[in-house]
Amino acid sequence: MRLLLSSFSAACNGSYGIVTREIFKRIKELDPGIEIIQHGWLHNKPLEEVPWEIVPTENNVEIGPDGRPYPDSYGERTLQKLLDSFRPHMLWQLGDPWMGINAAMLKPQYGYRYIYYIPVDSEPYSPVWNERINMADEVIAMSDYGVDVLSGNQDLRSVNFSSIPLGVDTTIFHPLDKQDIKSKRSEFSEGKLTGSMKVLGWIGRDQPRKQNWQLYELLHYIRTGEWILCKECGRITVKEYDHVSRLPRDITKLRKYECGYKYEHCWYCHSKDIVPGTPREDVVLWTHMFNQPDTGWDLDELLNTYRIREEVYDPSGHVGDGEISPEDMNWLYNCFDVFVYPTGGEGFGMPLLEAMAAGIPCVYADYSAYTDWAVGEPVRVEIFQPEIRTQRCRALIDMGEMVRKTLLMLNDHNRRSIFSKRGMKAASKFSWDEVAQRWMKMIESVHCRDSAMVYGEVI
């Protein structure tokens, strides 16, 4: 069988590239007779070797006869040429719905089987992509949540949906020696992070859907203690922040609460049995996130907005996505005391699984794929915000709940230890070997269906 992979280059260390590499290097071991070529998207800085040829997409933009720009980031121009030369029996694709759409559209012309591995990170699913999905022989989501969302689309009733999760390599992602971690913390931070400091960690892209701006708001409330805890209902009321003065908002000008609210009782149950917040100036935020103000949040401006410039550490500097080895990523995870992920939606959410495998307790948004498998402290969603164009809902977490659950982890060593063990146990079930076995069965099943003509050959 000739199998064409269409996804981010498996030689690079971006998330989808890693997924493609981990699955198909094992499939090649399971069946060396499968002939694989990859049409590698964004094959810019290859760092890893794989046992198949990668034909890169082109990074330049060509101007067509109609005067319009035609990029090739996801094979818009070069896929057809590769189809003509390789003549695949099957095309396997991993990517967001707007990436590499021509792989689905060219299926009737070339007659290959088409398997689409889709990260469903929010709801509802936009009907804009129905045509692409209806072209697929199999649509595989990364979570049962994704299957539920896709199945709810009335126009996709005839499509086969199932889920295969991602995996994690626990020989790479695992707890490290505590003394070595202290040395690494000091080394990475040039002596700024001492052993007595507590570190909140985040690893991910600077993307609007990840709502990573809330990391900075979270750190503000934890360090300033500008909140009250209700002893009766257990909820935290955070004091409204004025983004202009960069101080707590004047109570006569409140917008989140009723004007004149003095924080003398719980906003939610009105009990006066409250405890004022305690500033935690020993807590810092450590992120690995390439600043992309043109497409994501302006991280530099967020530091100013919340007055935490000296309390946020990011050693990534100019290092872009995929330019750090998995082994070094494990060192990063191990430098964190608590991994915080207030995301607006994840198709799967690999960083959280890697953090769990590394033994780092997690606090995360209780939404999208995380509702299936994540272990830690889930934080409820306060608002669902529809996206422009697609109307897919992005989660905004309850900040008071995020503060409370993060502090529960920070303040209690035994709690961190319990969730560390639970997380590692759960992560151990997500083996790449098992994932590859499931993919092998799926590929064989699709390949052996009723005969179809492919380039004049019966398969």
pLDDT of residue 450: 63
Structural domain of 315: 178-225+278-430
Does any domain span residue 163? yes
Task: Note whether 48 and 150 are same-domain residues.
Answer: yes
pLDDT of residue 160: 82
Provide the pairing of β-strand 62-63 with 69-70.
antiparallel
* 435 and 167 Cβ atoms separated by less than 8 Å: yes
Does any domain span residue 245? no
Does any domain span residue 439? yes
- Backbone torsions φ then ψ of 217, nearest 5 degrees: -65, -40
pLDDT of residue 187: 81
What residues contact residue 453 under an 8 Å CB cut-off, 6+ apart?
Answer: 111
CATH of the domain at 190: 3.40.50.2000
Task: Note whether 293 and 408 are same-domain residues.
Answer: yes
Task: Note whether 27 and 111 are same-domain residues.
Answer: yes
pLDDT of residue 68: 76
Rounded Cα gap, residues 403 and 424, in angstroms: 24
* 215 and 305 Cβ atoms separated by less than 8 Å: no
Tokens coding 411: 């303040």
pLDDT by 10-residue block (mean), the chain, 459 residues: 97 93 97 97 88 93 75 94 97 95 96 97 91 94 96 82 97 94 82 86 92 96 98 98 96 96 98 98 92 84 94 69 77 95 97 98 98 98 90 95 98 97 98 98 90 45
pLDDT of residue 128: 87
Task: Note whether 326 and 190 are same-domain residues.
Answer: yes
Task: Note whether 291 and 368 are same-domain residues.
Answer: yes
CATH of the domain at 36: 3.40.50.11930
Task: Please tell me the pTM assigned to this model.
Answer: 0.93
Does any domain span residue 319? yes
Does any domain span residue 117? yes
Does any domain span residue 268? no
Does any domain span residue 262? no
Task: Note whether 57 and 157 are same-domain residues.
Answer: yes
What residues contact residue 178 under an 8 Å CB cut-off, 6+ apart?
Answer: none
Task: Note whether 371 and 454 are same-domain residues.
Answer: no
Task: Note whether 144 and 30 are same-domain residues.
Answer: yes
- Rg of the chain over Cα atoms, rounded to whole angstroms, equals 24
